[in-house]
Amino acid sequence: MKSRITLFVIVLLAVSAMSAFAMGDKETAAGAAAQPQRTINVLLWDDPYPKALVEMLPEFEKATNIKVNIEMLQPPQVLTKTAVAVTETSTDYDVVGIDEGNVPVFASLLLPFDKWYKGTIYPKTDPKSITPKMYSIGTWNGVQLGVPINGNLYVWMTRKDLIENPTYRSQFKAKYGYDLGVPKTFKELLEMGTFFYENNIAAGFGPFNGGPAGVLSEAMFMWYSYGTNFIDYTGGTYKVVLDEPKAVEGMEFYKKLMAISPKGAETMAHVERQAAFAADPKGVFSMFIWPAQIAAYEDPAKSLVAGKIAYSAPPAGPAGANAITGAWAIAIPKASKNPEAAAEFIYWWSSKAVADKLVQANTIPARTESLTNPAFTASKPWLPALAESMKVAASRPRFKEIGQVQDVVKKYWIMGITGAMPTKDAVHAIVVETNDILKKAGY
């Protein structure tokens, strides 16, 4: 008799739970239907990540009765359009994508995160779902202004077929006294790269010497790794804080990497790096990559090394590891007439359910639990490496005149690492001319 009563109670609870679940679905649908249809305008950058999101919009619009109009432009155009369309008193957009470097530029026009509407259908984004160093991308002067939404930062690639080759492993250990593998330190990167270069097996390193923003990223990667920042916001203004001797050490190390790089390394940009790593029969031993480019390196139709790449966080320099970021934050202008609908959209976008779908669409969200989900990592081995990189994320300088500074850094960085100018003189020239830019800007 007792067992029958217990069974009856279990069945009753199960039925109650199913009814409650069904009622919850009905209430969500009813809640959306009860809301008058609202429309929000969204300005984003044009790449596969927001394009994948567009495919999922019907789900959000059905759940919320919020119509979403998304405009996508090339990143420089997003900056220009935001500067024109968003002011203190009016805005053409309810949600804007802000490149991390431009967060300070628009900070006064953005609604602080702690003032965002709490959400009706989707819960407010939990800051803990993003690593603290990535989360800071949406912060300026101690105020959180937006939600970091994409995981765009340095991840490291190493030729797995080279480091697993028994002959190479034996030869390397005989010379250097430790096992060949994914380089964990700058010392290992240089020694392993030198081994492959000197034995005419592969180029040792793939530098980036293309656009000014990318060159600044490489310089910052070196400088952080040797224990110095470049420009800091302190005392309400921007100051050059570069420790010149440490900066010279970083430039000197990169100069050594240039010596084991492919021919034409002094002008290598993304296209040339991909050709050297993935299309040249010899290839390149090890280098960084931005996540959006991984698909091309793993495409057998385009790459000779598809399935032969080991991914990791970047190797550590004397002062530790860092991974340079180039991410976007999603923010709400203060002048938006639809801040509640805008917040609901961002909460949906940054949710785990949507992040999981974006991972499956071969894009990289900033939500770390999706990057470490075992359901995805087996077929996408770069995901855990991205999650590890996010633990050591490091931003480039962020202020309005950064474009001018990037040009200065590129000019003297290239001269220093190619031997056209002594590295000490190159670093000092960067400091002098950057100080001049800051002074003329009124800082």
| Residue 13 belongs to a domain | no
pLDDT above 50: residue 4: no
Identify whether the C-beta of residue 229 lies closer than 8 Å to the C-beta of residue 242: yes
Q: Looking at the structure, do residues 41 and 137 belong to the same domain, yes or no?
A: yes
Q: Domain of 209?
A: 155-325+393-440
pLDDT at position 292 = 87
CATH of the domain at 39: 3.40.190.10
Q: Looking at the structure, do residues 238 and 193 belong to the same domain, yes or no?
A: yes
Q: Looking at the structure, do residues 263 and 411 belong to the same domain, yes or no?
A: yes
pLDDT above 50: residue 235: yes
Identify whether the C-beta of residue 237 lies closer than 8 Å to the C-beta of residue 443: yes
Q: How many other CB atoms are found less than 10 A from the CB of residue 433?
A: 17
pLDDT at position 33 = 52
Q: Per-residue confidence at 252, pLDDT binned at 50, 70, 90?
A: very high
d(CA 244, CA 230): 10
d(CA 433, CA 429): 6
For the entire predicted model, the pTM comes to 0.86
pLDDT above 50: residue 416: yes
| Residue 12 belongs to a domain | no
Identify whether the C-beta of residue 266 lies closer than 8 Å to the C-beta of residue 421: no
Percent pLDDT > 90 in the chain is: 83
| Residue 212 belongs to a domain | yes
Q: Looking at the structure, do residues 198 and 345 belong to the same domain, yes or no?
A: no
Q: Looking at the structure, do residues 165 and 311 belong to the same domain, yes or no?
A: yes
What secondary structure does DSSP assign to 190-220, as a single string? HHHHHHHHHTTSSBS-----SSHHHHHHHHH
| Residue 143 belongs to a domain | yes
Q: Looking at the structure, do residues 112 and 236 belong to the same domain, yes or no?
A: no
d(CA 157, CA 120): 42
Q: Looking at the structure, do residues 74 and 178 belong to the same domain, yes or no?
A: no
pLDDT above 60: residue 8: no
Q: Looking at the structure, do residues 340 and 293 belong to the same domain, yes or no?
A: no
Number of domains into which the chain is organized: 2
Q: Looking at the structure, do residues 61 and 102 belong to the same domain, yes or no?
A: yes
d(CA 5, CA 12): 10
Q: Per-residue confidence at 398, pLDDT binned at 50, 70, 90?
A: confident
Q: Looking at the structure, do residues 376 and 425 belong to the same domain, yes or no?
A: no
pLDDT at position 183 = 98
Q: Looking at the structure, do residues 319 and 332 belong to the same domain, yes or no?
A: no
User: Could you give the dihedral angle defined by the CA atoms of residues 76, 296, 216 and 440, in that order, rounded to the nearest 10 degrees?
Assistant: 0
Percent pLDDT > 70 in the chain is: 92
Q: Looking at the structure, do residues 275 and 411 belong to the same domain, yes or no?
A: yes
